[in-house]
């Protein structure tokens, strides 16, 4: 029987620390650069990056049909566009090359020293050029919490929420790779309900714990993507922090929705975990009641068990966990999100990004935003240095990590971090 790249028994000849997010069963794709060359495609393995351009240029990927020139580009868009069968072929070939007992790459120590790079010595880039970005609102716990805050328990969910995946089109140009600082935004907000609006720096800077999928093979204008075919159009998944200015957002969002309160920055993790790597971690999602309309109905398990953690580190302070949640809580799956997005004929393009919306769990420590964790600032979070947080302060660094763990196999997404800088004068 052929051993696949997901086999839990696989080991790599590349040293992989026991707590690494990047064992041989993962092999996520990203774009990296070094002091010696510009951006190009790579795959993470343990504490190293495998240079896919050099690998292909030397003929090691010839059997996959993927040419070296495609992997020398500054983004993964062209590779994503090849579709899931091509992604699978390259990942399977890399898995074979990195398995214990395979000496193809180790025969030439000089080449090996060039093709296998220390991961801590590279600079990671945004993995794709994001042409369009859509943010969904698909966690029933989050939607209910926010609804209770602003409308009361009797009207927590809007009438349409259980019938369709609610979403809006966000700003693609301000999506940045992990580690990029986030400048505190300015805008209009109400200092008090009975006072006129003022202009200034947000006083309620927040995070949103999200996971995003990246579109691989697109669809033609006017041609919907059926729900049960949706995953064939997905390249992979990344962690996503949709930074939010709550005071600006609450003043501006009626009647047309998020604008300045959202478009100043969103942070993504640099490594794209391919859909094939996620297969062992499938799980059932929440029971949907009422049953969705036929175009949103799917067969089999469509959710994924991804443990999520959010940390907060004050400037010159220690890091502490402020939330633990799980992607499996999502009410609307990625299949349903993409099917709904395209049911009107909307065309998706390689590199387009769709975020899940804030992921909150059923308990107070699993909420996916400061808005919920502190319940609009009424329950501040105590910090180890004696301070407290209702929302974020300048100098705070926020991190999100994601991990799948099953049958002795642990694969992760790495981390997405961002440090908050003070507002411009």
Catalytic residues: 142
CA distance 274 to 261: 31
CA distance 345 to 254: 27
Contact predicate 339/227, CB 8 Å:
yes
CA distance 161 to 140: 9
**How many angstroms separate the Cα of 73 from the Cα of each of 115, 120, 215?**
17, 21, 18
Bridging pattern class, strands 282-283 and 123-125: unpaired
Contact predicate 27/271, CB 8 Å:
no
CA distance 346 to 337: 12
CA-based R_g, the chain, Å: 22
Instruction: Give 165's contacts (C-beta < 8 A, 6+ positions apart).
Output: 136, 137, 138, 296, 332, 336, 337, 340, 341
CA angle 330, 331, 332 (to 5 degrees): 95
Q: In whole angstroms, what separates CA 82 from the centre of its chain?
A: 21
């Amino acid at each position: 029987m052929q051993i696949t790249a997901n086999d839990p028994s696989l080991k790599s000849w590349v040293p992989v620390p026991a707590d690494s997010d990047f064992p041989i069963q993962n092999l996520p794709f990203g774009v990296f650069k070094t002091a010696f060359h510009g951006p190009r495609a790579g795959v993470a393995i343990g504490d190293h990056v495998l240079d896919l351009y050099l690998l292909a240029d030397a003929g090691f990927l010839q059997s996959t049909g993927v040419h070296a020139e495609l992997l020398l580009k500054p983004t993964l868009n062209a590779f994503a566009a090849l579709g899931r069968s091509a992604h699978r072929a390259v990942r399977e070939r890399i898995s074979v090359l990195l398995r214990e007992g395979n000496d193809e790459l180790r025969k030439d120590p000089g080449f090996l020293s060039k093709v296998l790079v220390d991961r801590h010595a590279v600079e990671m880039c945004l993995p794709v050029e994001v042409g369009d970005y859509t943010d969904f609102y698909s966690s029933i716990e989050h939607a209910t919490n926010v609804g209770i805050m602003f409308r009361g328990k009797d009207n927590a969910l809007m009438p349409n929420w259980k019938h369709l995946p609610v979403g809006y089109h966000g700003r693609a140009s301000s999506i940045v790779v992990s580690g990029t600082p986030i400048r505190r935004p300015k805008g209009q907000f109400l200092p008090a309900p009975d006072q006129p609006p003022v202009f200034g720096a947000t006083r309620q800077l927040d995070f949103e714990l999200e996971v995003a999928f990246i579109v691989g093979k697109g669809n033609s204008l006017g041609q919907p993507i059926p729900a049960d075919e949706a995953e064939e159009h997905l390249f992979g998944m990344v962690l996503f922090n949709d930074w939010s200015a709550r005071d600006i957002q609450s003043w501006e969002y009626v009647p047309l929705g998020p604008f300045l309160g959202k478009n100043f920055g969103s942070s993504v993790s640099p490594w794209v975990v391919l859909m094939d790597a996620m297969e062992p971690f499938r799980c059932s999602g929440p029971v949907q009641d009422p049953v969705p309309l036929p175009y949103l109905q799917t067969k089999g398990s469509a959710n994924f068990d991804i443990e999520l953690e959010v940390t907060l580190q004050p400037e010159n302070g220690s890091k502490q966990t402020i939330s633990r949640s799980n992607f499996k809580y999502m009410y609307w799956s990625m299949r349903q999100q993409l099917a709904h997005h395209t049911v009107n004929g909307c065309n998706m393009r390689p590199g387009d990004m769709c975020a899940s919306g804030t992921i909150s769990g059923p308990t107070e420590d699993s909420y996916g935003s400061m808005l919920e964790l502190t319940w609009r600032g009424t329950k501040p979070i105590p910090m180890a240095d004696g301070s407290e947080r209702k929302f974020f302060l300048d100098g705070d660094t926020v991190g999100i990590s994601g991990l799948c763990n099953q049958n002795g196999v642990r694969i992760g997404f790495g981390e997405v971090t961002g440090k908050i800088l003070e507002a411009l004068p």
